[in-house]
Amino acid sequence: MATTDKDLSILPSFRFYHYLENGYGALKSEELFWDLLEKSLLTHTGVYDIHHTLLNKFYLVTYMEQHRSSYNERWDFVYYWVSEKLHKNTKHHSSFEGVIGILNTVKNKFDKKDYDDAFFDITLQESMDLKKIYDYSENYVIIEKKVRESSECTKEYIQYIKESIEKYNEAKSLCEIQKGKAFCKIFDSIRKKYENDKLSKLKYDNCKPKEDSNALQADQLQNLQHGDRGQGDVARGDFSHARGDETDSVSEGNNLSNQDSGVPSAVIFPILGVFLVSFVLYKFTPFGQWSRTHLHRKNITKGEESDEFSGETLTNSFETPDMYSNTLEHSIGYHSMNNM
């Protein structure tokens, strides 16, 4: 009933069923009539779980705006929509005749016409076969135009045409033998209304399946991987082998880079290790105490050796202020005047 195929979704039958599935009907008049109708639906316990849905769609069709497409065919569409709705669940099958009778009551009330008696004499499966034929008849004009003018169709679209033609031809063959059958009466009324014996002769060879984008990309990738035989620098078209060589080169480059990056570490870490060991020995072991004592004694010895020079050094130290006393006094006085 619903479809995600963009080619099918624009066909009249698919558009109307989409409207029924997603539209919301509201009661606008004849409230008493609808109350009685709902009670009648509830007597068919097999459809209790969907009786609100059925009632809502009856509202939708009854009060449908006349400007909507397929307005004149709305009662036929809703009949086949109900058939498919009941066909989906086996527990609804037994309620088919009763629900169609209730729908006929609605049609008679608001359209002033009944469904043809033949609609009440067919089975649920026969109604599904007729739905396929009726929908195809409604969609034929657009389908014929597309397959004549377009060179591309979706696979679903082509499959829909194929199945519809097969079903149409099956019904045509059957009804040539069993003309009085209720199913054939409805089928003949469709044929006369749409003059569509040509439906069985529709040619759609020109309408080729559209390339699936994912499959096309996969094919292109496969061709790229295997290459063209006898062309390019890869002698046997072994593209994957060339890719492998390239990968090996990249890996080799990475290994060389990693080796180079290890050279500074090999130099720095040993130096840091020596420094750390020396620090620990000096700070926390007898070796450190011995080193400090040895250095202290060495400094004392050097001091004794330089005593002969110490007096002269001290004298020079105390003579320095006298040598520059006049200069200092002059400088101090000069700066004091400026500050004042």
Whole-angstrom distance, CA of residue 278 vs CA of residue 258: 31
pLDDT at residue 194 in the model = 78
Q: Are residues 136 and 205 in the same domain?
A: yes
Q: Are residues 282 and 326 in the same domain?
A: no
Q: Are residues 184 and 288 in the same domain?
A: no
Q: Are residues 332 and 274 in the same domain?
A: no
Counting the structural domains of the chain, the total is 3
Q: Are residues 185 and 289 in the same domain?
A: no
Q: Are residues 132 and 273 in the same domain?
A: no
pLDDT at residue 325 in the model = 40
> Is 76 within the bounds of a domain?
yes
> Is 229 within the bounds of a domain?
no
- Domain enclosing residue 299, as ranges: 269-305
CB 171 within 8 A of CB 196: no
Whole-angstrom distance, CA of residue 333 vs CA of residue 87: 123
In angstroms, the first-to-last Cα distance of the chain is 110
> Is 101 within the bounds of a domain?
yes
Q: Are residues 281 and 340 in the same domain?
A: no
Q: Are residues 61 and 181 in the same domain?
A: yes
Residue 57 vs residues 31, 77, 79, 257: alpha-carbon distances, Å: 16, 11, 11, 73
pLDDT at residue 335 in the model = 41
Among 192, 209, 226, the domain-final residue is 209
Whole-angstrom distance, CA of residue 126 vs CA of residue 183: 7
pLDDT at residue 231 in the model = 47
What is the model's pTM? 0.62
What token pair was written down for 114?
Answer: 């009944």
pLDDT, mean of each 10-residue run, the chain (340 residues): 84 95 87 95 95 95 93 96 96 96 96 93 97 96 89 90 94 93 95 78 82 49 52 44 46 48 58 67 61 55 46 40 40 40
**Residue 22: φ, ψ to 5°:** -105, -15
Q: Are residues 133 and 43 in the same domain?
A: yes
> Is 262 within the bounds of a domain?
no
Q: Are residues 204 and 274 in the same domain?
A: no
Residue 134 vs residues 6, 118, 140, 180, 316: alpha-carbon distances, Å: 21, 15, 10, 19, 130
> Is 71 within the bounds of a domain?
yes
> Is 91 within the bounds of a domain?
yes
Among 209, 224, 250, the domain-final residue is 209
> Is 263 within the bounds of a domain?
no
> Is 236 within the bounds of a domain?
no
Q: Are residues 36 and 108 in the same domain?
A: yes
CB 237 within 8 A of CB 231: yes
What token pair was written down for 57?
Answer: 């769609």
Tell me if residue 192 falls in helix, strand or coil. Answer: helix
Q: Are residues 204 and 317 in the same domain?
A: no
**The Cα angle at residue 37 between residues 122 and 56, in degrees rounded to 5:** 85
